[in-house]
Chains A and B, each alone.
Chain A
Amino acid sequence: KAGVTQTPRYLIKTRGQQVTLSCSPISGHRSVSWYQQTPGQGLQFLFEYFSETQRNKGNFPGRFSGRQFSNSRSEMNVSTLELGDSALYLCASSLGTVKLETQYFGPGTRLLVL
């Protein structure tokens, strides 16, 4: 079974631009969660989508948004990029319907904002 895939793997943007990242979950998984990882803050939860609906949300500003498509693929968008948005963005997929289930992480997208 193929794992979680994320595109692109690396991205360089300038302040003020916007960016869209994509995540394809493991086949059969309906939940996609997004995390931001930085050296200072560690791994922080952004939001989770299940069956095309945002089910959970972390404490990030409205510049961070996402969506999920009917095939469970998910995108996240960051508008008006700031230097502090430079980070590794990880998505994780899971079935989304089972208690105590495991999340499987993709390889991540490394975003650098100049």
Chain B
Amino acid sequence: QKEVEQNSGPLSVPEGAIASLNCTYSDRGSQSFFWYRQYSGKSPELIMFIYSNGDKEDGRFTAQLNKASQYVSLLIRDSQPSDSATYLCAVPTGANSKLTFGKGITLSVRP
């Protein structure tokens, strides 16, 4: 099993809908989790990080962490066409500055 998996995608939702992006990880000892957004032709930019079980909200974005089930998800409420991008889940593995990324989920928001 890969360390970080993002299996669903590509994902297409209509404008205004909730987009749900999922990520599973294999290392039970993982403490923190990052969601990055990458527009086509651009570099990744951090959206949120989470390290406690439960939900963390920031504007239209909510990160959810379930350590028992080893998954972390990102919900985007009121999706906008400008949210169309690839979303990458990342987990620090080994030392802090080594991030292991999932393959990403490409989200398309239809106007």
Decide yes or no whether A1 CB sits under 8 A from chain B. no
Also in contact, A58 and B32, with CB within 8 A (given A42-B104, A90-B43, A102-B49): no
**Chain A interface mostly helix, strand, loop or mixed?**
strand
Is the C-beta of A100 less than 8 angstroms from some C-beta in chain B? yes
Q: Are B97 and A100 in contact (CB under 8 A)?
A: no
Select which of B43, B46, B49, B102 is within 8 A of A42 by beta carbon.
Answer: B102
B interface, size bucket: 20 to 34
**Digit string of A36-47 for contact with B (CB within 8 Å is 1, else 0)?**
000000111100
**Contact between B42 and A100 (Cβ–Cβ < 8 Å)?**
no
Interface size class of A (residues with CB under 8 A): 20 to 34
Residues A42 and B103 in contact in the complex (CB < 8 Å), given A90-B43, A90-B44: yes
Residues of A within 8 A of B68 (CB): none
* Known contacts A55-B97, A56-B98, A105-B45; 20 further A-B pairs (Cβ under 8 A): A42-B88, A42-B103, A42-B104, A43-B99, A44-B101, A45-B99, A48-B95, A48-B98, A55-B95, A56-B94, A56-B97, A90-B43, A100-B31, A100-B32, A100-B96, A103-B99, A105-B36, A106-B43, A107-B42, A108-B43
A-B CB contact pairs (8 Å), 30 listed: A31-B97, A33-B97, A33-B98, A33-B99, A35-B101, A42-B101, A42-B102, A42-B104, A43-B44, A43-B90, A43-B101, A43-B104, A45-B100, A48-B95, A48-B97, A48-B98, A50-B97, A56-B94, A90-B43, A90-B44, A94-B97, A96-B97, A100-B31, A100-B92, A103-B46, A104-B46, A106-B43, A107-B42, A107-B43, A108-B43
